[in-house]
Amino acid sequence: MFVYAAFQVPENYKDIYPGSGGCSQASGVKIQLEYELKSGNLLNMQVGPGSGSDNTFGSKIRENIKVWDLILRDLGYFNFEDFLDIEKRKAFYIN
């Protein structure tokens, strides 16, 4: 199971956690959390700036994918290389 959270933080954090710009807040935080649903084990957690790209996170956690796993991601994580790697590992995905 993968959980994603994004939220705004006060502007004085913009040097540490820059936001995505545009109409958004000047500073923001993204939390990416991955855990194994059946066992409840935490596999990976990353905290980063709101300006970070979501689709690069999926590539960072490829080593956690095992045979018969089902990977559920929204379109923000769309990456053809990740899909090919998931298939090579004999796992499945829904995007």
Closest to 2 measured CA to CA, from 45, 39, 53, 38: 45
Band of pLDDT at residue 23, cut at 50, 70 and 90: low
Position 86 confidence tier, pLDDT thresholds 50, 70, 90? very high
Place of tokens 């095992």: 66
What is the percent of the chain with per-residue pLDDT over 90, rounded to a whole number? Answer: 23
Identify residue 33 by its one-letter amino acid code.
Answer: L
Residues 23-30, mean pLDDT to the nearest whole number: 83
Half-sphere exposure of 26 (CA within 13 A, CB side): 7
Residues 6 or more apart whose CB falls under 8 angstroms from that of 27 comprise 8, 9, 10, 11, 12, 13, 14, 16, 17, 18, 19, 50
